[in-house]
Structure 1
């Protein structure tokens, strides 16, 4: 699997409400922890990322994720990406629908034959 396919698989997992934690790397001894910035949170470390993503999956439903500009560069063990993504979900408790135009960027590392995110940043774009 190429890095692009792994990123697209992550988008699919969001849409189908599958576990997202396995897409992120655990820190290797001596390395810094992986980090994920979402629209409203900063998660540092594999445990915090997995907990945050599990909570997200438990409290949201009906995800739509539309990639419009995925660009991926891949080398032997490292890859990086950027994308413009329309995304929306429903708050499971209130039924409120949330929708955002977002920018994504991040880095992946090949570990044990699989691409894993070591950094991800999702932000909203304000009109200028």
Structure 2
């Protein structure tokens, strides 16, 4: 798979409620930052993603601006993604306009995230570069 195919497969797996940990490098240095958490190391990421899959359903993932720059040993990823899901523990719908950035590295099976950062704008975000 190419880096773009890997990212799109990750989005598809999220929508389908499939395992997401295989999309990450199995390393203690791998990092995933989500809207409400920071997970460091493959084991912590896998645990966090299992919990996310257990407590959420009906994901909508709409990519609006996927951009991937591939270099010899890595690929940089950025995207604007509309996310929504049902939080089964809170009995509530969740929805965010999110910003994604990450680094993919080649593996024996294709490409995997060495780092992924997902954030949502806050009231403090004014759109002004600092």
**Would you say same fold, with TM above 0.5?**
yes
Q: Describe the SS at the equivalent of 2:119.
A: strand
| Contiguous gaps of at least 5 residues in structure 1 | none
RMSD: 1.1
How many residues are matched? 124
Q: Describe the SS at the equivalent of 2:85.
A: strand
Runs of 4+ in 1 over 6 A off after TM superposition: none
Partner of 2:5: 5
Structure-1 separation of matches of 2:83 and 2:18: 16
The Cα shift of 1:113 comes to 3.7
Q: Give the TM-score of the pair, scaled to structure 1.
A: 0.92
Q: Describe the SS at the equivalent of 1:5.
A: helix
Partner of 1:41: 37
CA deviation vs aligned residue, 1:47-73 (integer Å, no higher than 9, x gap): 000000000000000000000000001
2:69 to 62, 70, 73: 73
Q: Give the TM-score of the pair, scaled to structure 2.
A: 0.91
Structure-2 separation of matches of 1:64 and 1:123: 16
Partner of 1:112: 108
Structure-2 separation of matches of 1:45 and 1:72: 24
Structure-1 separation of matches of 2:71 and 2:33: 24
Which residues of 2 match residues 90-109 of structure 1 at below 5 A? 90-109=86-105
| Contiguous gaps of at least 5 residues in structure 2 | none
